[in-house]
Amino acid sequence: MTRLEIFLSTCLCVVLLAAWQWGLEAAAVPSFIFPNLSRVVAEFIRMVQYDNVLHHLAITTVTVLIGFALGTSIGMVAGYVLGVSRTAEVVLSPYILGMQIAPKVAFAPLFIMWLGYNIYPKIVVAVLIVFFPVMINVMVAVRNVDRDMFNLVRSFTATRMQVFWKVEFPASLPALFSGLRIAATLAVIGVSVGEMVGGSDGLGYLLIYGQGQADTAMVFVAIILLTLVGIIAYLCVVLVESRVLSWMPRQALA
């Protein structure tokens, strides 16, 4: 990112924040409908002092990390298995597709009844949402490995594990990181859904609590913090990707 791009992005941010603060006042929008920036900041400070919002933020962040790690791990394994085995794809794909199509919000109450009002239902929902994009990306990448390179390595009597580490794994990394970018944001959605359906901790719980109290500013604080968690998770994936795939041309990573 060049200095000009950073400057333009910063200017756009300043303009949006100014419009949020003074544009709403100029339009005479009631604060209980759409609070301005200063009202949201004041509500955040109040929540830090009295509502322990940092505790809720920490709970959501930890749950997102666990759900992201488990979901991506299972997705990578499943994607590789389906990529190398046509039989496994034919047998398992209908069930995986059905699980993906089914609305995760509908499953959340079941997970709460089965696992209780704790962190586990939220993790399960996040895993289900994160799993599919990672699996699809890895499966497609493994399928598209250069057959000539594969045959060349096998001609040197390479073992199956050596073929995986020398050919399949490096070839699947760009697609894997594309899936991880998507999964980083979906993990936040999954955790917030679980917290909204049932729980007494987390930013999703604060969303529902603020709604029940008709406190629009509290809802905005929760939304902004959830957004920040997702942005930070996404940027962490991008940072790791830039280090791991530093050998690839910039155009290939775009």
Note the pLDDT tens digit of each residue in 125-174: 999 999 999 999 999 888 887 777 777 777 777 777 877 887 888 888 88
Note the pLDDT tens digit of each residue in 88-105: 888 888 888 887 787 777
The tally of domains found in the chain comes to 1
Q: What is the pLDDT of residue 1?
A: 65
DSSP codes of every residue in 147-177: HHHHHHHHHTT--HHHHIIIIIHHHHHHHHH
CATH of the domain at 208: 1.10.3720.10
- Asked if residues 201 and 59 have their Cβ atoms less than 8 Å apart, the reply is yes
Q: How far apart are CA 146 and CA 144, in angstroms?
A: 6
Residue 251 has pLDDT above 50, yes or no: no
| Domain ranges, residue 213 | 35-253
Q: How far apart are CA 184 and CA 220, in angstroms?
A: 21
pTM of the model: 0.87
CA 111 to mean position of chain CA atoms: 20
Classify residue 5: in a domain, yes or no.
no
- Asked if residues 233 and 241 have their Cβ atoms less than 8 Å apart, the reply is no
Residue 76 has pLDDT above 60, yes or no: yes
Closest CA to 142 of 161, 168, 166: 168
Q: How far apart are CA 215 and CA 42, in angstroms?
A: 13
CA 20 to mean position of chain CA atoms: 27
Q: How far apart are CA 73 and CA 87, in angstroms?
A: 22
Q: What is the pLDDT of residue 30?
A: 84
Classify residue 12: in a domain, yes or no.
no
Note the pLDDT tens digit of each residue in 101-110: 877 777 888 8
Q: How far apart are CA 171 and CA 93, in angstroms?
A: 23
Residue 66 has pLDDT above 50, yes or no: yes
